[in-house]
Amino acid sequence: MSEEDKEFGEEDKEVEEKDKDELKEGEKGEYDYETDLDYKIENVVATVVVEITEKIDLNQIARRHADVEYNPERFPGLVMRIEKPRATILIFSTGKMVVTGLRQASEADRVVDKVVKNIKKAGIKVSNPEITIQNIVASGDLHTNIDLNMAAIVMEYAMYEPEVFPGLIYRMQEPKTVFLIFSTGRIVCTGAKRKEIVRDAVLKLNQQVRELGVAKKDIGNSEYQDITFI
């Protein structure tokens, strides 16, 4: 072998060793938390207040719209459902409403417009609806098993009582949200009022479980099964 071939051989070996070191370094800490985000908005809850000149006669609305539900002996509010965007609205005689079932906060305006029109069709005067997003519920997956017993120890504001509930309850302080975390890595996030807060909270949790060492590739068969949220 010539001296030139030996020189090139040594250079190839150096490059190969460098590539191995970079690969190991990447395995250690170059985890991309953002690209691994996996969650979706399941429900948006909003409250609405409309101006009224007198209490809303819910019986009058029930007589005008056959597809509503109103049984004052069981529940004081009238239930109205909108198909597009799909939502369920609770209407009270005081002019207050609760909107649930939305998948996007931006849909609230269209839903409330339709509700107000339906109320007016019943001959009732309402105006100036004020909409406030109260809660956004999201579900997601961290794509790793979680050691919930360890998480309950190392994560502040976490509570885990498997005899009572199979998930760990984690009250994240910033951003202010509450998580249900299951051993399979499935999560439910609630308490946020903007979708940006949901994203920030899930991103932070995704980072925390890995940096705190509670993310496990396999922690065996869990004694408990995840609950399906409807």
Taking the complete model, does pTM exceed 0.75, yes or no?
Answer: yes
The domain boundary, picked from 77, 109, 134, lies at 134
- 55: containing domain: 45-134
Residue 120 lies in a domain: yes
Residues 87-125: pLDDT tens digits? 999 999 999 999 999 999 999 999 999 999 999 999 999
pLDDT at 26: 38
Q: How many domains does the chain have?
A: 2
Cα dihedral across residues 78, 116, 53, 121: positive or negative? negative
Q: Cα separation of 148 and 167, whole Å?
A: 8
